[in-house]
Amino acid sequence: MSENLKTDIVIIGGGIGGCTAALAASKRGHRVIMTEETDWIGGQLTSQAVPPDEHQWIEQFGCTKTYRQFRNRVRDYYRSHYPLKEEARQNDRLNPGNGWVSRLCHEPKVALTVLQEMLVPYTSSGRLQIYTNYKAIQASVEGDDVFSVTVQHTENEKRMKLEGQYYLDATEVGDLLPLAGVEYVTGAESKRDTGELHAPEEARPQDMQSFTYVFAVDYVEGGNFVIEKPEKYDFWKDYQAPFLQHKQLSWFAPDAHTGGSKEFAMFHHEDIWGLWDYRRIIDPSLFQEGTYDGDISLINWPQNDYWSGSIIDVNEEEYETHIHESKQLSLSLLYWLQTEAPRPDGGKGYPGVRLRGDILGAEDGLAKYPYIRESRRIKAVTTVVEEHINANVRGDRGIEHFEDSVGIGCYRIDLHPTTETNTFFYAESYPFEIPLGALLPVRVNNVLPACKNIGSTHITNGCFRVHPVEWNIGESAGYLAAFAIEKGVLPRKVREDKVLLEEFQEMLVVAGIELRWPELGPI
């Protein structure tokens, strides 16, 4: 069973970038169809269950107007719908979980609701159509242009052939790129390819950052919620990667600063940091007494990073194997926490840790989709390399400015252990600009990246993968497609023509997208 749908802009992937691209293009009055592989839009914020990774100035500046609106709406949702204590309700910088990874740790379901509310004026008018549980399977291509993309329902044989003027890839791993014949790279480029100081001598397309199956838990003192022993628990309990000085399931984690191990604990203990409130999304002390049995936390720790294999450009059997093994790692971490994790009192295990699949809307208790740190990336007109961002390389040259900037971002270069060489890398970085050239494929005319699949490298992707940056990329890509339609030109012409570029950048500024940073030091 199949149907044909025609529109102005087709967005494949409903993650953060897909949602903001849809929001931008719809605001300009264009008809948009967005598809999403899971039944939740929002990607990292929702189906992957990752609280926002943000920079230190996020409360004052350094993000788009709509990202700030999203953050404010999340806080307002808690104020309007939850029994907060008055002090918490009056806190302008309410952090529902008081997690220390972010100034705004919140539940994935709240993010989902807020995103849907931001899009509802356009879904209500029919300008925007959203189809969940659809995955791209085929593209019709002639020369340098895509003429249609076919998507299939993930639970049945229903297909839709989508035709538009522009196609945006906002999938988590760049699924549209190979289907549409867009040139792309994966994994680690060679020093010869990028000229980067820390690139390897030889390219390794399958050497990419680990991914993680996040899960939600709460903690009930005195409770016993121990799950059935996972089938691969014995393997993961004894597993120690050759590059680690500790076992995977332990209170130690790789320290990218030193190359050694860093000790953690369940809860803060003396001078040892506790991981429990690292990504905590509900702090019961902010709510009226009796609202919660205990804290709720999202477990995305070094202990459940999965680096045993890639799920990009591999056959279906290998893909399913790594997905299964990653889930088994996360469930094994949970079982270890409940039964064998060393406690400061000399005991073992925290049986009061309870799996909360309801928080993530998933029957198996894990996130609907793995947290993806590294995607396929287009071969772009402009590729952002380490020398544009790494503070140690740039020295006192400060922020790299791009004449064609379409947004800004800021995050450290932070690479988790990789799938082949198990390399992990950390470096201070300068705040950065997002060049329009990084959104332009070298050849294909009407496909644009809308998330972390832009023209970055394996190294600089470590900065570009975080929430506010993906938000900005998607929003700017949506506006770029809209502007190209309105002007009757190809996106690359917008960059090449100074008058068009200035007009497009003015559109972005009016829409609340910041193009330049004040002069700031590295982070």
Domain harbouring 113, CATH code: 3.50.50.60
Claim to verify: residue 268 and residue 352 sit in the same structural domain? yes
The DSSP call for residue 447 is E
pLDDT recorded at residue 1: 63
- Cα–Cα distance for residue pair 456/199, rounded to 1 Å: 13
Claim to verify: residue 304 and residue 225 sit in the same structural domain? yes
* Direct distance between the N- and C-terminal alpha carbons of the chain, in angstroms, rounded to an integer: 53
Residue ending a domain, among 334, 360, 386, is 360
Claim to verify: residue 142 and residue 250 sit in the same structural domain? no
Helix ranges restricted to H, 140-268: 176-180, 191-194, 233-238
- Cα–Cα distance for residue pair 371/366, rounded to 1 Å: 11
Residue ending a domain, among 315, 330, 360, is 360
Q: Are 368 and 360 in contact (CB under 8 A)?
A: yes
Whether 522 maps to a domain, the answer reads no
Q: Are 50 and 371 in contact (CB under 8 A)?
A: yes
Q: Are 240 and 422 in contact (CB under 8 A)?
A: no
Q: How do residues 292-324 score in pLDDT, each as one tens digit? A: 999 999 999 999 999 999 999 999 999 999 999
- Max Cα–Cα distance, the chain, nearest Å: 70
Whether 197 maps to a domain, the answer reads no
Claim to verify: residue 236 and residue 122 sit in the same structural domain? no
Query: Number of structural domains, the chain?
Result: 2
Claim to verify: residue 356 and residue 379 sit in the same structural domain? no
What does 288-344 look like in DSSP terms, one character per residue? -TTS-SS-EEEE--GGGEE-S---SS--HHHHHHHHHHHHHHHHHHHHHHHHT-B-T
- Cα–Cα distance for residue pair 419/25, rounded to 1 Å: 37
Residue ending a domain, among 312, 338, 360, is 360
User: What pTM was computed for the model?
Assistant: 0.97
Whether 516 maps to a domain, the answer reads no
pLDDT recorded at residue 201: 96
Claim to verify: residue 341 and residue 378 sit in the same structural domain? no
Claim to verify: residue 116 and residue 48 sit in the same structural domain? yes
Partnered with residue 151 across adjacent β-strands are 136, 160
Claim to verify: residue 95 and residue 172 sit in the same structural domain? yes
- Cα–Cα distance for residue pair 193/443, rounded to 1 Å: 18
The DSSP call for residue 154 is S
The helix or strand, by DSSP H or E, that contains position 354, with its residue range, turns out to be strand 353-355
Question: Smallest Cα–Cα separation from 420: which of 465, 458, 466, 457?
Answer: 458
Q: Are 189 and 390 in contact (CB under 8 A)?
A: no
Coil, helix or strand for 471? helix
Whole-angstrom CA distances from 257 to 100, 413, 415 are 19, 12, 11
Q: Are 256 and 247 in contact (CB under 8 A)?
A: no
Claim to verify: residue 61 and residue 161 sit in the same structural domain? yes
Q: Are 221 and 294 in contact (CB under 8 A)?
A: yes
Rg of the chain, C-alpha, whole Å: 22
Whether 194 maps to a domain, the answer reads no
Crossing angle (nearest 10°) for helices 467-487 and 498-510: 130
- The CB density around residue 57, as the number of other CB atoms within 10 Å, is 15
Whether 139 maps to a domain, the answer reads yes
Q: In three state form, how does the secondary structure of 32-76 look?
A: EEEEECCCCCCHHHCCCCCCCCCCCCCCCCCCCHHHHHHHHHHHH
Whether 202 maps to a domain, the answer reads no
The DSSP call for residue 83 is -
pLDDT < 50: residue spans in the chain: none
Question: Smallest Cα–Cα separation from 297: which of 354, 251, 249, 347?
Answer: 354
Helix ranges restricted to H, 190-315: 191-194, 233-238
Whole-angstrom CA distances from 271 to 70, 302, 337 are 35, 19, 21
Whether 138 maps to a domain, the answer reads yes
Whether 365 maps to a domain, the answer reads no
Domain coverage including residue 334: 211-360
Helix ranges restricted to H, 167-297: 176-180, 191-194, 233-238
Claim to verify: residue 331 and residue 310 sit in the same structural domain? yes
Please report, to the nearest 10 degrees, the dihedral formed by the alpha carbons of residues 47, 51, 56, 60 taken in order.
70
Contacts of 386 (CB under 8 A, 6+ apart): 194, 196, 197, 198, 199, 393, 413, 457, 459, 460
Six-digit token string for 385: 């390399």
Claim to verify: residue 327 and residue 403 sit in the same structural domain? no
Claim to verify: residue 260 and residue 167 sit in the same structural domain? no
